[in-house]
Amino acid sequence: MSIQQILDRHPNLWRGRVALEQIPAGVPTGHAALDQELVWGGWPPGSLSELLGARMGDGFGLVLPALARLSAEPRWLLLVDPPWQPFAPALAAHGLMLEQLVVVNAGTRCTWAAEQGLRSGACAAVLLWGGGPWDHTRLRRLQLAAETGGALAFLFRDPAACRSPSPAPLRLQVERIADGRRVTVLKQRGVRGGAVLAAG
């Protein structure tokens, strides 16, 4: 069997460089500079994205514009073990339709709950806090669940996680600065990371 035949049998196998025409269109992030930097033109569809921040809520503001857009669809937005009680008036002020939002406090079963939401096909996005320690197998299960259900998966982690490898196609470090956020693209599939940009 040739190498090409093996690659053809495993389309999810990463091949290093990816032709731009083979990359699916992403879900707009709501931040023009970030969309321009990401190879998908937004959040990678049906994929796990990791957001690393010193505060548990640092990355949430970054994904909020996309969540508001997705809340207009009939599928749910699932928040698993958020570190704070979501403040409904603030979310509504950002355009999020609250009737599409589900909050689950699953404790030790948070990873399981996130996987079920991702696989179901009923969720447009699943956001997960905690659930660590994370190893490659658990992260890969989230990635496969996101692919299966065609959902966006967002995992919020501590910045120290950047020292560990991950199967997530996208990893961003998010830092609050005086006039918004500084976003560092630590990893994106098929492209060298390292870009630093501002996102309001």
Higher pLDDT among residues 190 and 70, named by residue: 70
173 pLDDT tier (thresholds 50, 70, 90): very high
199 pLDDT tier (thresholds 50, 70, 90): confident
9 pLDDT tier (thresholds 50, 70, 90): low
Write out pLDDT tens, residues 48-88.
Answer: 999 999 887 789 999 999 999 999 999 999 999 999 889 99
Are the beta carbons of 26 and 44 closer than 8 angstroms? yes
pLDDT at 49: 97
Rounded to an integer, the average pLDDT of 98-105 is 96
What string of DSSP letters covers 108-120? Answer: GGHHHHHHHHHHH
- Provide the residue ranges of all domains of the chain, joining segments of one domain with +: 32-199
pLDDT at 44: 96
pLDDT at 15: 53
d(CA 117, CA 16): 30
pLDDT > 70 in the chain, percent: 88
Burial class (CB in 10 A: 0-12, 13-18, 19+), 140: middle
Return the number of other C-beta atoms located less than 10 Å from residue 76's C-beta.
20
Structure tokens that stand for 117 in this block: 């939401």
CATH number assigned to the domain covering 32-199:
3.40.50.300
Whole-number average pLDDT of the chain: 88
pLDDT at 189: 83
Q: Is pLDDT at 25 greater than 60 in this prediction?
A: yes
pLDDT at 101: 96
Does the N-terminal peptide bond of residue 89 adopt cis geometry, omega within 30 degrees of 0?
A: no
d(CA 41, CA 53): 22
Residue length, the chain? 200
User: CA dihedral in degrees (150, 156, 158, 162; nearest 10)?
Assistant: 20
d(CA 163, CA 83): 23
Are the beta carbons of 173 and 166 closer than 8 angstroms? no
